């Protein structure tokens, strides 16, 4: 391990030989729109290494030159308090960027320049400020002297309106020029009160004598030490040793006593005052705060009663849109792959090869691709809700309810989507800013029954509880939802450490979403799903094909799958389920609706539904059927869902999800079966 | 009736203006508020109070929704 890179993130992109342009800025400043304006369709969505934070990269072409544009996570500041901020900060510290474009919202300049000052304090000089949303500022009566602003701030300032494309060409020209070293800048940095400056001077002096001075701006390290930044304290401790570090910490405590406040507040206060003074030099009109139409809308949309009704309506329409278009497409793709398999099967002489290709590979690829329309459409719908500004209101209105279970309001969205399909639901967790919230939401998500499990639940309840089928089905839904929320509470307390995030949410201006941007994003994200989840699903279906065809096909009682079922039988019998159920559950991992179809294969009656109903009624009691439906709902998520969790949260959390669901379903299954027996059901 | 100059944000009425003087609470919550622009010295307008639902405040043209817990921790000097 190289200690000097403790905080720095060194991008691999350096090796590609392209000059790197990083976009920094607060959330909701139009960063994504600028990114699209700079890169057009030449972009790619991925994750930052090791974390579930989305990373967008694209190529900017300007005349005959190409640049790599990296969109840093949108952050308000550069502290060590969230993963997003750490990613942005470590990236900037690593001097990965030849040019940093700091995108600021000109209608809310004071707060936006806070981040700008933090970037300047790091010692980064190649910065361009994109003064975005210039149209909204104008509407609010705010106006600037841009030339003066450049002089005061010390870096080039380009007014832009990313939505209309205004200023984007000028921005490209400036980026290209600066990347080639044609611009000289002199960024201004805040000056603090005398006692703080003295301490910064003292600490900087001490740090200058360490190797840290070669790698970091010592003034930045000193300021971060004063705010008790945990990451910086750890770093500096390595070089100074505990004794000198203690001395510094004692100084800091004295200063905190002097100000009667923690220094992060004092420094933030003085930084804002400094920014205020700067602004008075170049802002011509500041504008006034008036209640707007959007404020009136917010009062209704965040109201606990009207807001929730609106929310239900919006999500009803969302599902209607997605499933009306998506389901026929899904079925079409599914059928196409089945026919394709049947078509080419006779042409493959070798029996093993035929099975592998037709059932394993084509079946696997088919089930991945048949998810694509649903995933894509849900992303389109979500992206439109996000861009319109409604999502922040939806999250706000659900905050109180979700918080009871230790989840933030925003996690409501993935939970609702899960009723349709868990795959896009899990992928939508990336809109949660907090790592803890994201993982927690992802882990409990599979417990919300998706539409495939609805098929199993309605079939079994229909066959065994004709009179009370609706009631029993609702009961199964209620149990699994209850377990999902309870799990959130328990996992949040014991498994996923971390403080609950405090509730502060920006309510961005309502806007008319752009179809083009929604489509580009959704396409990129769904492609990523195919790439990442696809491999898991493919290998899964090849494994299942192998188990069900060797050494003899299913139905003979000799296949590995059936043998495996018999191995598990002593265990599943604890919940009253025999080997047939065990085999069905194994196949259900591919797709939960397989649980019923597998019975047909075992009995050798194919898809003859009437015969199947007859046989099943003989084979199991209604208590056993209830347990089977419940366990199908709760056990291991289907392969596509596991793939999605792996894509978003990595192998570790995918494993945790599988084990947790398996444990939970076993406990519940055994419990329900034995209570049922005891009650004489 | 005595009108207090310094109040918690949670005690302010709709339409009232003021300047933030202090932000209390744990390190993490504080960091988040400071970065979002709620720091001593910033001017705010109360757009909506917390009954019912969340607080909404304006900082320039930015709107922030806050939970009650957070609104209790922000100390504001009222503008007369």
The whole-number mean pLDDT for each consecutive block of 10 residues of chain A, a chain of 681 residues, reads 55 70 92 89 70 80 92 89 85 90 93 95 95 90 94 96 91 95 92 96 94 93 94 92 93 94 93 94 86 89 91 86 84 84 84 79 74 81 86 89 88 84 83 83 93 83 86 91 93 77 85 83 77 70 79 79 89 92 87 79 73 87 93 90 87 93 94 92 76
* Cβ contact, residue pair B34, A268, below 8 Å: yes
Structural domain count of chain A:
3
Residue B56 lies in a domain: yes
Residues A272 and A302 in one domain: no
**How many other C-beta atoms are found inside a 10 Å radius of the C-beta of residue A627?**
27
Q: Distance (Å) from the C-alpha of residue B58 to the closest C-alpha of chain A?
A: 7
Coil, helix or strand for A64? Answer: coil
- Which chain B residues are Cβ-neighbours of A259 within 8 angstroms? none
Of A179, A208, A241, at which residue does a domain stop? Answer: A179
Q: How far apart are CA A448 and CA A425, in angstroms?
A: 10
pLDDT for the residue A5: 47
Q: How far apart are CA A632 and CA A594, in angstroms?
A: 10
- Which chain B residues are Cβ-neighbours of A509 within 8 angstroms? 61
* Cβ contact, residue pair B30, A262, below 8 Å: yes
Name the closest residue on chain A to residue B22, using Cα atoms.
Answer: A265
Residues A421 and A299 in one domain: yes
Structural domain count of chain B:
1
Residue A497 lies in a domain: yes
Residues A541 and A584 in one domain: yes
Residue A186 lies in a domain: no
Residue B40 contacts A, CB cutoff 8 Å: yes
Q: How far apart are CA A594 and CA A5, in angstroms?
A: 50
Tell me which residue of A158, A157, A131, A162 sits closest to A37, measured CA to CA: A162
pLDDT for the residue A447: 95
Domain of A209 in residue numbering reads as 194-285
Residue B40 lies in a domain: yes
Residues A344 and A437 in one domain: yes
Residue B69 contacts A, CB cutoff 8 Å: yes
Residue A111 contacts B, CB cutoff 8 Å: yes
- Residue B41 is nearest to which of A269, A294, A504, comparing CB atoms? A269
User: Which residues 41-60 on chain B approach chain A with CB closer than 8 angstroms?
Assistant: 41-42, 45, 47-48, 52-54, 56, 58-60
DSSP code at position A557 = S
- Which chain B residues are Cβ-neighbours of A304 within 8 angstroms? 52-53
Distances from the Cα of B56 to the Cα of A135, A170, B59, angstroms: 24, 37, 10
Q: How far apart are CA A460 and CA A197, in angstroms?
A: 73
Residue B16 lies in a domain: yes
pLDDT for the residue A358: 79
Residue B10 lies in a domain: yes
- Report the CATH number that the domain containing residue A84 is assigned in CATH: 3.40.50.300
pLDDT for the residue A533: 65
DSSP A484-522: HHHHHHHHHHHTS-SPPPP-EEE-PPP-PPPHHHHHHHH
Residue A58 lies in a domain: yes
Could you tell me which residue, A145 or B27, shows the higher pLDDT?
Answer: A145
- Report the CATH number that the domain containing residue B62 is assigned in CATH: 2.30.30.90
Q: Distance (Å) from the C-alpha of residue B13 to the closest C-alpha of chain A?
A: 14
Q: Distance (Å) from the C-alpha of residue A272 to the closest C-alpha of chain B?
A: 7
* Burial class (CB within 10 angstroms; exposed 0-12, middle 13-18, buried 19+) of A395: buried
pLDDT for the residue A499: 67
Residue A612 near residue A600 (C-beta atoms within 8 A): yes
- Which chain B residues are Cβ-neighbours of A305 within 8 angstroms? 52
Residue A189 lies in a domain: no
Helices (H) and strands (E) in chain A, counts: 28, 10
- Residue A302 is nearest to which of B23, B53, B70, comparing CB atoms? B53
Residues A362 and A419 in one domain: yes
Q: How far apart are CA A75 and CA A82, in angstroms?
A: 9
Of A222, A254, A285, at which residue does a domain stop? Answer: A285
Of A148, A179, A210, at which residue does a domain stop? Answer: A179
Residue A382 lies in a domain: yes
Residue B25 contacts A, CB cutoff 8 Å: yes
Residue A424 lies in a domain: yes
Residue A505 contacts B, CB cutoff 8 Å: yes
- Report the CATH number that the domain containing residue A215 is assigned in CATH: 1.10.287.1770
* Cβ contact, residue pair B66, A503, below 8 Å: yes
- Residue A505 is nearest to which of B26, B48, B64, comparing CB atoms? B64
Residue A184 lies in a domain: no
Distances from the Cα of A443 to the Cα of A206, A434, A492, angstroms: 46, 14, 10
DSSP B23-74: E-S-HHHHHHHHHTT-STT-EEEEEE-SSSS-EEEEETTEEEEE-HHHHHHE
- Residue A265 is nearest to which of B23, B35, B69, comparing CB atoms? B23
Residues A160 and A211 in one domain: no
Residues A121 and A199 in one domain: no
Domain of B46 in residue numbering reads as 6-78
Residue B41 lies in a domain: yes
Residue B1 lies in a domain: no
Spatial CB neighbours of A179, under 8 Å, sequence gap ≥ 6: A19, A21, A67, A98, A99
Residue A159 near residue A134 (C-beta atoms within 8 A): yes
């Amino acid at each position: 391990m190289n200690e000097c890179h403790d905080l720095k993130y060194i991008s691999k992109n350096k090796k590609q030989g392209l000059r790197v342009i990083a976009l920094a800025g607060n959330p909701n400043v139009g960063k994504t729109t600028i990114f699209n304006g700079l890169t057009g369709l030449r972009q790619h969505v991925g994750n930052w290494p090791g974390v579930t934070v989305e990373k967008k990269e694209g190529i900017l072409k300007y005349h005959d030159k190409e640049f790599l544009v990296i969109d840093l996570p949108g952050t308000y500041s550069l502290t060590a308090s969230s993963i997003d901020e750490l990613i942005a900060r470590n990236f900037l510290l690593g001097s990965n960027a030849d040019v940093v474009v700091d995108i600021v919202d000109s209608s809310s300049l004071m707060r936006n320049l806070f981040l700008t000052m933090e970037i300047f304090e790091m010692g980064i000089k190649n910065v361009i400020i994109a003064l975005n949303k210039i149209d909204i500022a104008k509407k609010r009566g705010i106006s600037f002297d841009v030339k003066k602003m450049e002089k005061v701030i010390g870096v080039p300032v380009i007014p832009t309106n990313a939505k209309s494309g205004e200023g984007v060409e000028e921005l490209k020209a400036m980026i290209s020029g600066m990347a080639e070293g044609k611009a000289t800048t002199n960024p201004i940095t805040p000056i603090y009160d005398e006692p703080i400056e003295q301490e910064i001077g003292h600490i900087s002096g001490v740090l200058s004598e360490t190797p840290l001075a070669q790698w970091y701006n010592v003034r930045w390290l000193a300021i971060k030490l004063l705010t008790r930044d945990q990451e910086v304290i750890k770093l500096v401790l390595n070089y100074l040793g505990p004794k000198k570090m203690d001395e510094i910490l004692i100084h800091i405590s004295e200063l905190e006593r002097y100000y009667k406040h923690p220094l992060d507040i004092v420094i933030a206060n003085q930084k804002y005052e400094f920014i205020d003074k700067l602004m008075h030099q170049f802002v011509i009109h500041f504008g006034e705060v008036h209640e707007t139409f959007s404020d009136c809308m917010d009062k209704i949309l965040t109201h606990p009663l009207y807001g929730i009704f609106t929310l239900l309506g919006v999500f009803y329409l969302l599902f209607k849109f997605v499933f009306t278009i998506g389901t026929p497409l899904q079925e079409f793709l599914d059928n196409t792959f089945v026919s394709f398999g049947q078509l080419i099967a006779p042409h493959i002489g070798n029996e093993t090869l035929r099975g592998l290709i037709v059932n394993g590979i084509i079946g696997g690829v088919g089930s991945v691709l048949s998810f694509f329309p649903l995933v894509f459409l849900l992303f389109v719908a979500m992206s439109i809700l996000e861009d319109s500004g409604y999502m922040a209101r939806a999250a706000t209105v659900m905050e109180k309810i979700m918080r009871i279970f230790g989840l933030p309001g925003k996690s409501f969205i993935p939970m609702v989507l899960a009723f349709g399909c868990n795959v896009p639901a899990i992928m939508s967790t990336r809109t949660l800013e907090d790592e803890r919230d994201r993982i927690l939401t992802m882990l409990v998500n599979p417990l919300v029954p998706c539409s495939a499990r609805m098929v199993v639940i309605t079939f079994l309840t229909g066959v065994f509880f004709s009179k009370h089928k609706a009631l029993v089905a609702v009961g199964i839904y209620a149990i699994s939802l209850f377990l999902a929320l309870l799990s959130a509470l328990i996992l949040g307390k014991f498994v996923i450490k971390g403080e609950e995030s405090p509730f502060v949410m920006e309510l961005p201006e309502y806007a008319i979403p752009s179809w083009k941007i929604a489509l580009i994003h959704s396409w990129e994200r769904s492609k990523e799903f195919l790439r990442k989840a696809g491999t898991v699903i493919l290998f899964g279906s090849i494994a299942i094909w192998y188990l069900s065809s060797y050494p003899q096909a299913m139905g003979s009682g000799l296949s590995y799958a059936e043998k495996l079922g018999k191995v598990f039988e002593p265990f599943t019998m604890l919940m009253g389920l025999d080997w047939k159920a065990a085999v069905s559950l194994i196949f259900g991992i591919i797709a939960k609706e397989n649980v019923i179809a597998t019975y047909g294969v075992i009995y050798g009656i194919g898809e003859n539904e009437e015969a199947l109903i007859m046989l099943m009624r003989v084979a199991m009691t209604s208590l056993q059927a209830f347990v089977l439906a419940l366990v199908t709902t709760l056990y291991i998520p289907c392969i596509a869902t596991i793939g999605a969790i792996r894509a978003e949260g990595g192998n570790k959390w995918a494993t945790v999800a599988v084990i947790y669901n398996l444990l939970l379903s076993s406990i519940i299954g055994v419990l329900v079966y034995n209570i049922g027996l005891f009650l004489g059901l | 009736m005595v009108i207090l100059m310094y109040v918690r944000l949670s005690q302010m009425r709709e339409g009232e203006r003021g300047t933030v003087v202090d932000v209390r609470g744990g390190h993490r919550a504080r960091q988040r508020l400071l970065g979002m622009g709620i720091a001593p010295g910033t001017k705010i307008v109360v757009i909506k109070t917390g009954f019912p639902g969340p607080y909404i405040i304006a900082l320039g043209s930015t709107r922030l929704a806050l939970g009650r817990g957070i609104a209790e921790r922000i100390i504001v000097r009222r503008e007369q």
